[in-house]
Structure 1
Amino acid sequence: MTNHLFSDEHVCTHLGDEYERFHGAVVPPIYQNSLFVFESFERLTEAMKDEQSSYLYWRGTNPTVEIVEKKIAALEKGEKCKLFSSGMAAISSAILTFLQAGDHVLSVSNIYGHTTKFFSYIEKFGVSHTNTPSTDLDVIESLIQPNTKVMYLESPTTMTFKLLDLKAVSSLAKKYGIKTIIDNTWATPVFQNPITFGIDIVVHSVSKYLGGHSDLVGGALITSKEIMDHLFYHEFQLLGGVMPPYEAWLVMRGLRTLPLRMKAHQESGLKIATFLENHTSVKKVNYPGLKSHPDYELGKQQLKGYSGLMSFELTNNSFDSVRNVINSLKQFQIGVSWGGFESLVISPNYGYNTEQLINSGMDPGLIRISVGLENVDELMEDLDAALKLKARSV
């Protein structure tokens, strides 16, 4: 039996824990040591031949980190996983492993802002970048250049939550010899497995749902053994963005309840999305779990569920309206990030970037919320009160 045949629940609670190896400890220990010593110099030299599979130095492989990597690889139906010190460390390493001077990257639709900044950063090394706001396959194909080596994706997309046809996009990329990378943080491995649709590398910010408690920062890459064998000895070890054992242990703790938490996020998310869709102060809700979403049928083909992150657009899309709604919320706390136990709210409208938002395909009245694990009725009451107060004050 392969790891891919285990249920998500089994993977999260038992895979890789190896109780006999750790003296029967139900929770594996934290290996907080920076190096490992050997009984002979010959054993050390053997370990140095295969540092990816040997315990030699913290920057390479660590037993605590390794357990979590096995779990996440199995959840994502991938062959190998490596954990990183942040989501951006994982993203930048994945991108760089396929590129050299003179290459081109194509990113599709709305992606994480710091990823876009990274594409601008590597221009000084002779790598060019194009972004398209469209998710249409013909538009994407028209932007492929002879030197395009990487296609970077998010599905659902950042802030707007549009879906990409992952099977079609991966087939298109393979036709032109392009590698595909996708940020799968929104769906988690519980609700979407892009590798099964032909995507080459899956990225996660484990700071979000995989950790689940808003007490760690980290990233993960899941891919084939062939790609990881190259990435390990180059971008992973040379850039040095490795995850410490304690943070890996926190991810392990978060994974124990991941399937249960995602079901709760989905249940509350669907209720709140439906409530917002019927609210007079809301023009549109961007949530692929709604039947009104333009990509709903596509989502049924490639998503197994829906998380608690969504956005909605106010009927009055002025900055004052956005600010008033956010400041009036009591249960939703104002802050970046998402995917923890707490409900959060933010907007990409900062009062001075309206034109930029419109050019990127975002409505100025857009507000993003992360639905946490609080009582869903209290969250809806909070949203209703804030939206009604906004209507009276504008």
Structure 2
Amino acid sequence: MGKKKISNEQIVTHLGDDYKKFHGAVVPPIYENSLFIYETFEEFTEAMESEHSNYLYWRGTNPTVEIAEQKIALLEKGEKCKLFSSGMAAISAAILSFVKTGEHVLSISNIYGPTTKLFKYLEKFGITHTNINSKKIDVIEAHIKPNTRLIYLESPTTMNFQIVNLPEITELAKQKGLHTIIDNSWATPIFQNPIEFGVDVVVHSASKYLGGHSDLVGGALITSESLMERIFYNEYQLLGGVMPPYEAWLLMRGLRTLPIRMKAHQESASKVAAFLETHQTVKKVNYPGLTSAPDFELGKRMLKGYSGLLSFEIVSKEFESIREVINALEQFNIGVSWGGFESLVLSPNNGQNYEQLIENNIDPGLIRISVGLESEEELIKDLDQALLSI
């Protein structure tokens, strides 16, 4: 395609499908073979010299997986994408590619819980970690240590959905010689392209909006060609968390409708958030798409739209009240993850972690919902009756 501008819709529907190569099949086949053979040993040894761009073994490059990777890389305005067996596999590979024993990682505000657990796990290898709740650039700079090598963030942030000033942080990182990684699962490449703001590596949980049907687990890592080549031969191949072809095929199917689905999620979530903001039992709604959101103006500079994941804080901080609301919901299923067709609900409050929530800048009365593709009128009606139950 060269430098010719191509729409997101064109990327997800046709890019890389190569109908002639696949005998006219409108959907590319699933290459389930574990290895690829060559006619001569000379061809084989030549391919071995650049395994990242040749088909040799499933654990390296696979035609089915490669098509999905091409689509995601272009959607994210990056040069290369590699798909992993889970979001955490992608996150782990990205982090480990930049740090070693004796070095330090700085994370900003609220991030995905398992990522925080990974940072704690890495302490056994002499890699330290600091998390700060502030998004202010002077506070961030003050926490950079001589051995800091990486800044890790999410925007919007987990649970609170606050916007982080990406250009400000990437400029600081470059001044200090640091790399940056962002988890862009909330916004998707449809609504935010962090690489355009100077971020080095973008990671996704493909289990969320990219897949969109709650039928696959996967992760994606997008970065420059030079960084990806290094990651390919180290963290990608050696740790082995690669995406199987069938999951890549499912992901490809989900990508076909990503732009349409994100518009639908945004439309419904905006109406749900506006309703919650006026409800007598709700004191605060955390959704960057609301004009009342503290980061609304900053969000307009970072984001092209808003997804369907948000949270709200009920007046009562008691676990019993949260339990009653969640159990009273009929249209929202109780479960982890988000980004699928179904609406989901959960709360970080488990009745025994009040102080920990306060320490992590999370209101104990917070309830998180993922607005799916059901009728927003039915979802609003359901939320209303559940909130009035307390």
What TM-score do the two structures reach when normalised by structure 2? 0.99
Question: Could you tell me which amino acid in structure 2 is paired with residue 83 of structure 1?
Answer: L
1:67-95 deviations in Å (ceiling 9; x for gaps): 00000000000000000000000000000
Question: Could you tell me which amino acid in structure 1 is paired with residue 301 of structure 2?
Answer: Q
The corresponding residue for 1:58 is 58
Shift of 1:43: 1.1
1:259-274 maps to which residues of 2 (within 5 A)? 259-274=259-274
The corresponding residue for 2:202 is 202
Question: Could you tell me which amino acid in structure 2 is paired with residue 249 of structure 1?
Answer: W
Gaps of 5+ in 2: none
Number of equivalenced pairs: 390
Q: Distance in 2 between matches of 1:204 and 1:52?
A: 21
1:374-385 maps to which residues of 2 (within 5 A)? 374-385=374-385
Q: Distance in 2 between matches of 1:356 and 1:110?
A: 13
Whether the aligned pair in 2 keeps the contact of 1:265 and 1:372 (CA below 8 Å) is yes
Q: Distance in 1 between matches of 2:78 and 2:250?
A: 22
The corresponding residue for 1:213 is 213
SS at match of 1:222: strand
Q: Distance in 1 between matches of 2:2 and 2:327?
A: 50
**Range with bigger deviation, 42-51 or 80-89:** 42-51
Question: Could you tell me which amino acid in structure 2 is paired with residue 275 of structure 1?
Answer: F
Shift of 1:276: 0.1
Question: Could you tell me which amino acid in structure 1 is paired with residue 319 of structure 2?
Answer: F
Shift of 1:2: 3.1
Percent identity reads 69
Q: Distance in 2 between matches of 1:100 and 1:320?
A: 44
1:301-323 deviations in Å (ceiling 9; x for gaps): 11000000000000111111111
Question: Could you tell me which amino acid in structure 1 is paired with residue 116 of structure 2?
Answer: T
CA RMSD in angstroms, aligned pairs only: 0.7
Whether the aligned pair in 2 keeps the contact of 1:137 and 1:169 (CA below 8 Å) is yes
Whether the aligned pair in 2 keeps the contact of 1:4 and 1:77 (CA below 8 Å) is no
Whether the aligned pair in 2 keeps the contact of 1:338 and 1:344 (CA below 8 Å) is yes
The corresponding residue for 1:359 is 359
Q: Distance in 2 between matches of 1:5 and 1:380?
A: 39
Question: Could you tell me which amino acid in structure 2 is paired with residue 330 of structure 1?
Answer: E
The corresponding residue for 2:295 is 295
Please say if 1:226 is aligned against 2:226. yes
1:93-112 maps to which residues of 2 (within 5 A)? 93-112=93-112
Q: Distance in 1 between matches of 2:320 and 2:309?
A: 23
1:1-394 maps to which residues of 2 (within 5 A)? 1-2=1-2, 5-390=5-390
Q: Distance in 2 between matches of 1:261 and 1:363?
A: 30
Q: Distance in 2 between matches of 1:352 and 1:37?
A: 57
Shift of 1:4: 7.1
Gaps of 5+ in 1: none
Whether the aligned pair in 2 keeps the contact of 1:102 and 1:147 (CA below 8 Å) is yes
Whether the aligned pair in 2 keeps the contact of 1:4 and 1:75 (CA below 8 Å) is no
SS at match of 1:180: strand
Q: Distance in 2 between matches of 1:45 and 1:39?
A: 11
Question: Could you tell me which amino acid in structure 1 is paired with residue 269 of structure 2?
Answer: G
Q: Distance in 2 between matches of 1:4 and 1:111?
A: 36
The 1:319/1:158 distance shift into structure 2, 3 A limit, reads: same
The 1:364/1:111 distance shift into structure 2, 3 A limit, reads: same
1:27-73 deviations in Å (ceiling 9; x for gaps): 00000000001111111111100100000000000000000000000
Q: Distance in 2 between matches of 1:245 and 1:201?
A: 23
Q: Distance in 2 between matches of 1:209 and 1:151?
A: 24
SS at match of 1:339: coil
Q: Distance in 2 between matches of 1:278 and 1:3?
A: 47
Aligned structure 1 segments of 4 or more residues deviating by more than 6 angstroms: none
SS at match of 1:106: strand
